Amino acid sequence: MVLPSSLIRLVLLLGVAVAPVPLIAQTAPVPGPQGEAVVAPAVQVAALEEALRIGDVIAIMREEGLEYGTSLESELFPERGGARWRAVVGLIYDTATMRKRFDTAFEEEIGADTEAIGQMLDFFGSEKGQHILRLEIEARRALLDEAAEEAAKVAVENMSAKNDPRLGLLREFAEANDLIELNVAGALNSNLAFYRGLVEGAAFDQPMGEGDMLADVWSQEAEVRRETEEWLFPYLTLAYGPLSDEDLRAYIDFSQSPAGRKLNGATFRAFDVVFSSISRDLGRAAARQMQGEDI
pLDDT at residue number 39? 59
Question: What is the pLDDT, as a whole number, of residue 3?
Answer: 36
Burial of 145 (0-12, 13-18, 19+ CB in 10 A): exposed
- pLDDT for the residue numbered 25: 33
Q: What is the pTM of this model?
A: 0.84
The yes-or-no verdict on residue 295 having pLDDT over 70 is no
Mean pLDDT within 151-180: 96
Q: pLDDT per residue over 99-131, tens digit each?
A: 999 999 999 999 888 999 999 999 998 999 889
Mind giving me the DSSP string for 51-93?
HTTHHHHHHHHHHHHHHHHHHHHHHHSTT--HHHHHHHHHHHT
For residue 64, the tally of other CB atoms under 10 A from its CB is 17
**Amino acid in position 211:** G
Contacts of 140 (CB under 8 A, 6+ apart): 12, 14, 15, 57, 60, 235, 239
Mean pLDDT across 232-243: 96
Closest CA to 16 of 106, 148, 146: 106
Q: Please state the domain extents for the chain.
A: 5-290
Confidence check: pLDDT of 21 > 50: no
Which residues are within 8 A (CB) of 115 and not within 5 positions of it... i.e. 6 or more apart? none
Q: What is the pLDDT of residue 8?
A: 43
Encode pLDDT of 202-235 as tens digits: 988 888 889 999 999 999 999 999 999 999 999 9
Contact between 199 and 216 (Cβ < 8 Å): no
Assess whether pLDDT exceeds 50 at residue 289. yes
User: Of 272, 54, 48, 264, which Cα lies nearest the Cα of 176?
Assistant: 264
Give percent of the chain with pLDDT exceeding 90.
Answer: 73
Q: Which residues neighbour 197 within 8 Å (Cβ) at sequence distance 6 or greater?
A: 279, 280, 281, 282, 283, 284, 285, 286, 287
Phi-psi map region of 190: left, alpha, beta (phi>0 left; psi -120 to 50 alpha): alpha
The larger pLDDT score, comparing residue 280 to residue 31, is at 280
* Number of CB atoms found within 10 A of residue 62's CB: 17
